[in-house]
Every structure is written in structure tokens, then in C-alpha cells.
Structure 1
Amino acid sequence: MNSFNKRTAVRIAIVSMLLAAVASPLAWVVAHKTAEEDTVSLAMEESGRLLHHFGAIRLGDADAGTRASQAANTLAGGLFDIAEIYNRRGNKLALAMTGEGQAVEAQLPQHTRPNYNKPSYQSLTLNDGRWVLRVFVPLQEAAGNGEITGYFEGVRVIPAWQRKQMLANALRAALMVCLASLLCGAAIYPVVVRLSADNARKAREILDSHIAMMEALGRAIAKRDSETGAHNFRVAWIAARIAERLGLPEQAMQSLIVGSFLHDVGKISIPDAILRKPGGLDAAELERMQTHVTQGEEIVGGIGWLQDARAVVAAHHEKWDGSGYPRGLAGEVIPLAARIFAVADVFDALCSRRPYKEPMTFDQAMAILDKGTGSHFDPDVMTAFRPIAAEVFDRLDQCSEEDARRLLEERIRRYFG
């Protein structure tokens, strides 16, 4: 299992457990409340049926007390442990209790004369630990309609077996929700991993296409300038090594690598008569050659993923003392990526074999770079480069274009992948 899959598994497991930890108690509360309400609803329904059976709904005549007593005695022996029936004025007509009812009556909170028009209930845990449900039902000849003729109040002491059953059912519901949360996480994991693998594959394909396009542009530039593509690979790799010493963040590294590789993209627009002229350029030709910088800016500026290369492309001929072109920027006004590239570019040019020159030795190249520090090159960039310069020289000495390509690709995969 790779690191991403491990992180994904851990995160999904944590989320699943948190969900279970939150949802399970809620499920327990809901299930317990539902069982409680079901018990109350059954009690209300059955009490209403019995009250109608005994005629204890019509409580305005002389026999109302007798009928109310019969109904209360029946209810107290069945669904309720205390049954009280009142007339419409709130006067108590009947009271019946079981032994359990007598034991809890003194612990029940007292209330005023009944005067309500909707059924309700109370769930109470008494001082001795017993759990009781107390219902309040207005009596009407037509359920939910008509004039209120009296009131029924009942108290049910929940027996231990029923309480245990309700708690067990609530616990079962909570465990089911907990299990469902964990199973959901287990089911989501392979889906997330699969989608992530697909995204990674597509990202690699896009990166590969970008690298291929970048290489094609680099080779086109090199062929126009009578160069090989190895120079572009080398200077981009050297620039990345210097930037690592300076601690550039990932986004800045991406910009530096692409900009370094395509620094001379504007040369595509320069006529061959100037670009490949064997001798020196006259003033007009030199001015035309220098336009490759602004031409390069326009080229990379029109391609979305190359926008970040603009800093190097636009300023790779600027110098620390302001004597460069095209804008004559100086010091830290020059983008850091361009200052890094300047060191990498000159070092590679000095140490590489060209059709018109042999490569310099390491000491010769470093002497020129040291001489240009503070005028051409940023002193801080040179300070970062000096400790790795010999290693870079040895690594690139006799390095083929394919070797240079592999070196740069490793850095591209690190910072773009």
C-alpha cells in the first residue's frame, strides 16, 4: 500500500469512526424516544377505547361518577398504575391505583386543575430510580373534535422487562448505525483509491504531454540556433539545483524549470541570416537579435501552462548592475528565477563544447563567474552555487543529451508530479 492509500485509509477510518461516534448516540436517543412515544400512543389509544366503552366520555349526568369509576378501575388494572378521570370543570370523578401506583404517587409532581385541549405526556425518572410515563388526555365525544367533556390522566410505571427491552432496541439501533457508518467507510475507500488512481494517471498523461510539448519547443529553438537540445536540459537542471539550495517553493521551482528550458523560445522569430551568421552582428542585426526576448514573452504568454515561464524568458539577459537588456533592470528588481538562470546559463555555456569553441576547465569557468559576481550575477545566487559547482561540473562532463534529459525529467517529476 503506497503512502497516499495509507493516508486515505486513515482519513476515511477517522471520519467513519467520528460519524459512528456522533450518529450512534443520536440513533440511540431517537430509537429510545420512538419506543417511549409508541408506548404512550398505545396507552392513549387503548384508554380512549375503554373510556368510550364504559361511557366515561359523557360526564355531565348523574351517573357520570359511576361510569368514570368503572373505567378507572379497568384502566388501573391494565395499561396504567394510576388512572384519574375529571369532568369538564376539572373536578375529579374517579381515582384507581395498583400497588405500584400507590408506591409512586407521593413522588409525582403535583399539578393544577386540568385545563388543556391537546393530549400530552411526561417522562419521569423518580427518586427511587423507577421510570414512569404520565399521560394527559382531554375527553371529546369525537376524537380531536367537539367540546371537551372531561379529562383523563394516567400514570404507567414501566416494568423492568419493558424498560430493558426498550433499551436493548435502542442499543441495537445505535449499533446498526455504527456498523453502517464503518461499512460505508470501507465501501468508499476502494472508490476513492480508484478515482485517485484515475486522476493520477490523467495527471501523468497531461504532464507527459506538457513535457513533450516543452521538449519539442526546445528542440525547435536549438535547431534554429545550430545547437543541440542538451543545452536546454542542462541549464534547466543546473538552475533547479541552485534553486534547491536557495529553498524555492514548489510553484517557483516549476516556473524556473519551464522558463529555463524555454528561455530562448523567442529566437524562433529571428531570421536565419542573423541567427546563424558566422561573424559578428552589426548594430541593426544586434538590435533585431535582442527582440527575441520580447518575442519569447509573447509566445509563452499565449499558452496557459507556460505563463509562469515568463519571468525567466523576459529577464534572462538582465544583469545585476543594470547593464543588461531589454529593460535594464538591476538588483532584486530582476526576478529571482532570472537571476538563478543567468548563473546556470553562463556556467553551462563556458563548460560546454560549441562549434566555435572548446569547453573551459572548471577553474576557468568559475574564475569568469566570480569576476562577474556583483556586476552580471547576483552575489547571493553565486554564494548558493559555489558549494555545488564542482559536483554539477563533474555530473555534466561528457553528459549526452539523453543523460541530460533524464536528469531534468527527474526534477520535473519531483516538482510537477
Structure 2
Amino acid sequence: MNRFNKRTAVRIAVVSMLLAAVTSPIAWFVAHKNAEESTVSLAMEESRRLLHLHHFDTMELSGPDAGEHASKAANALAGGLFDIAEIYNQDGEKFAMAMTEEGRAVEAQLPAHARPNYASASFESLKLRDKRWILRVFVPLKEGPGSEPAQIAGYFEGVRVVSAWQREQMFERALSTAMMVGLASLLCGAAIYPVVVHLSADNERKAHEILDSHISMMEALGRAIAKRDSDTGAHNFRVAWIATRIGERFGLQGKSMQSLIVGSFLHDIGKISIPDAILLKPGTLDPKESEIMHTHVTQGEDIVDGIGWLDDAKAVVAAHHEKWDGSGYPRKLSGDAIPLAARIFAVADVFDALCSRRPYKEPMNFEAAMSILEADTGSHFDPGVMACFRPIAREIFDSLAKCSEDDARRMLEERVRFHFGI
């Protein structure tokens, strides 16, 4: 499993566990409340069935036999669904009361309430001082359907002590529901993981294909520049590799390193616009020709500006001829005003030019090349960049001493693939 897959698995697992931790208690609470309300609903419905005047013909809540009828109804309910059953007339006066032993044990702990006067059924759930759990229901008793609208004929109030086995059953059902929800969250995470990994791998593959094509295009442009300048193209590979090594020593990474590599490889892209008579002239350029040659910097800026990934090359393309003391061109920038990538490239470019064989010169040895760079440190070159370059200069020189163009290409490609994540 690669690093991304491990990181993805950990993140999905954490999210799934957090989701389970949040939803399971909610599911437990909802299931518990549903079980409680189901118990209350059953009790209310049964009390209505027994007490509704339309179904309980012998019961009258007014007249001389009202008390006797109410007592019969209370006794019918107490010991079945309820532990305490109370019946009131329409004025809220208690007509009858019946209770079980369990009801007597909890009666004194029940909170007092005002005389009944409500139009709809309700209930309350209470935990008593002795830790018992009770459900208390309030049901208005209405006249039968012959009376429109139905009139309140009385009130029924019942207390049910929830037994230990009922509490355990409700708890187990709620716990089971919570566990199912938690398990579902974890299973969803497990199901999502391969989908995320597959999509990510597909996106990564496509991104690599695009990046690979960009790098191939960068190489093609570099070769076009080299051919235009009567070069083999090895200089672009070598100088970009040297700049990369200095950038690594400097601590560059990510986007900064990628910009350095692309800019170093395409630093002279603006030379495409310079006339052959000037670009390929074997002798020294006159002032007018030099002025035209210097325009390759701004021409290069125009080429890379706004072209997506080529825009990363702009810092080097625009400032690779600037000097630390401000005597360069085209903007005469100095010091830290020159982009760091351009300051790094300047050292790499001159070092490679001094150490390479050209049609008009032989390569310099390491000591001669370094003496020139040291002499120009503080004027042409950034002292900080030179401080990073010195410790690796000999290694770089030895690596490039007998390096062919293909060797230089392979060396650069290895660093490109590392820093571009291919």
C-alpha cells in the first residue's frame, strides 16, 4: 500500500469512526424515545378503548351511579396497563382511583399537579427518587361520535411503572439500533475506500500523462532553441541539472523547484525571434546588433507569459541576464530584487559555459572556472547562491566532465521525475 492509499485509509477510517460515534448515540436516543412513545401510545389507546363513553356503556360520569361506574373502570385499568388509574369528571373532580402494590410504592413520589383541564392526550416520563422510571399519561374522555363537536366528559390519568425487564428490552433494542447505525457507518467507509483509491489513481495517472506531455513539449522547445542557436541541446540539459542541484542544496522544493527547472531549460526561448544574421554571426556584435540580441529576454517573456505551465519559466526567462550589482539587463535589477531562481540559474549557466567545449573555445579546468566565479561573486553572482554551490561544485564538474548529451538528458530526467512527482 503506497503512502496515498495509507493516508486515505486512515482518513476514511477516522471519519467513519467519528460518524459512528456521533450517529450511534443519536440512534440510541431516537430508538429509546420511540420505544417509550410506543408503550405510552398503547396505554393511551387501551385507556380510550375502555373509557370512551361510546364503548363503555355501563359507565356514566354524571348521575347517581357515576362514582360506582368510575370505580369499575379504574379497577379494570389498574393492574393491567397501569399501576395507578385515576378518573375525573368534566369539572376535574376525582371520581375514582385504583392502584397496585407497585403504584402504592411510588404514589408519594409523584409530583402534584393542578386540577385536570386539557383537551388532548399527553404523557410525561419521570425518574423518581428511588431510581424507578414511570410513564404518566393524561387522556381527556370525550362523548361519543353522536355529539358534534365531541365534548369533554371527564379525564383519565394513569401511571405505569416501567418494569426492569421492559427497561432492559428497550435498552437492548436501542443499543441494537445504535450498533447497526455505527456498523453501517463503518461499512460505508470500507465501501467508499476502494472507490476513492480508484478515482485518485485514475486522476493521478491522467495528471502524470499531462505532465509527461508538458515535459516532452518543454524538451522539444529546448531542442528547437538549441538548433536555432547552432547547439546540440546538451547545454540546456546540463544547465538545468546544475541549477536543480543548487536549488536542492538551497532547500527549494515543490512549485519553486519546478519553476527553476522549466525556466532553466527554456531560458533562451526568446532567441527564436532573433534574426539568423545576428544570432549566428561568428564575430563580435556591434552595438545595434547587441541591442537586438538583448531583446531575446523580453521576447522570451512574451512567449511564456500566460501559457499555463510555461508561465512557471518566467522568473528565469525574464531575469537570467540580471546581475547582483545591478549592471545586467534588461531591467538592471540588483540584489534580492532578482528572483532567486534567476540568481541560481546565473551561477549554473556561467559555470557550464566555462566548463563546456564550444566551437570557439576549449573547456576550462575546474580551478580556472571557479576562480572566475569567485572573482564575480558580489558583482555578477549572489554570494548566498555561491555559498550553496561551492560544496557541490567539484562533484558537479566531475559528473559533467565526460557527460554526453544523452547522459545529461538522463540525469536531468531523473531529477525532473522526482520533483514533478512522476
CA apart distance, 1:375: 0.9
Kindly provide the amino acid, as one letter, of the partner of residue 106 in structure 1: A
Displacement of 1:58 after TM fit?
Answer: 5.8
Counterpart residue number, 1:23: 23
1:134 CA drift (Å):
0.6
Q: Which moved more, 1:68-77 or 1:255-264?
A: 68-77
Q: Distance in 1 between matches of 2:135 and 2:177?
A: 22
Instruction: Specify which of 133, 136, 140 is matched with residue 135 of structure 2.
Output: 133
Question: Which range moved further: 310-319 or 13-22?
Answer: 13-22
Could you tell me how far 1:71 is from its partner in structure 2?
1.3
CA–CA distance in 1 between the matches of 2:299 and 2:83?
Answer: 96
The 2-side partners of 1:209 and 1:122 are apart by: 72
AA aligned opposite 1:93: F
Q: Which one is further off, 273-282 or 138-147?
A: 138-147
Unaligned runs of 5+ in 1: none
Match of 2:179 in 1: 175
Q: What corresponds to 1:148 in structure 2?
A: 152
Displacement after TM superposition at 1:162 (Å): 1.7
Alpha-carbon offset, residue 63 of structure 1: 3.1
Deviation of the 1:245 alpha carbon = 1.8
User: What does the per-residue CA deviation read over 1:80-104, in whole Å, with 9 as the maximum and x for residues that have no partner?
Assistant: 1111111122110110111111111
8 Å Cα contact 1:124-1:133 kept in structure 2: yes
Establish whether residue 307 from structure 1 lines up as the match of residue 311 from structure 2. yes
Give the Å deviation of 1:357.
1.4
- For normalisation by structure 1, the TM-score amounts to 0.96
Indicate how the Cα distance of structure 1 residues 403 and 147 shifts in structure 2: closer, same or farther if over 3 A, else same.
Answer: farther
Q: How does 1:84-123 map to 2 (within 5 A)?
A: 84-123=86-125
C-alpha separation between the residues in 2 aligned to 1:20 and 1:175?
9
What does residue 230 of structure 2 align with? 226
Structure 2 runs not aligned, ≥5 long: none
Give aligned-pair identity as a percent. 75
Do structure 1's residue 187 and structure 2's residue 191 form an aligned pair? yes
Does the Cα contact within 8 Å between 1:19 and 1:181 map onto a contact in 2?
yes
**2-structure distance, mates of 1:131, 1:10:** 43
Please name the residue that 1:364 is paired with.
368
Report the counterpart of residue 264 of structure 1 in structure 2: 268
CA offsets 1:297-316 (integer angstroms, 9 cap, x no match): 00000311111211110110
For the 8 Å contact 1:297–1:310, the answer to whether it is kept is yes
> Where does residue 204 of structure 1 map in the other structure?
208
How many residues of Structure 1 are paired with residues of Structure 2 in the alignment?
A: 417
Q: 1:96-124, CA deviations, whole angstroms, 9 ceiling, x for partnerless residues? A: 11111111111111112112222211112
Partner SS state of residue 152, structure 1: strand
Structure 1: distance between partners of 2:82 and 2:208? 73
CA change 1:229–1:141 in 2 (3 A) is farther
More moved, 203-212 vs 69-78:
69-78
- Give, as a single letter, the amino acid of the residue that structure 2 aligns with 1:406: R
Q: Which residue of 1 aligns with 2:298?
A: 294
Deviation at 1:332, TM superposition (A): 1.4
1:38 is aligned to 38
Query: Amino acid of the residue matched to residue 132 of structure 2?
Result: R
The equivalent of 2:5 in structure 1 is: 5
Aligned 8 A contact 2:137 2:157 in 1: yes
**Aligned counterpart, 1:325:** 329
Maintained 8 Å contact 2:24/2:181: yes
| Matched letter for residue 300 of structure 1 | V
- Separation in 2, partners of 1:142, 1:313: 95
RMSD of equivalent CA atoms:
1.7
- Choose which of 374, 382, 387 in structure 2 pairs with 1:383: 387
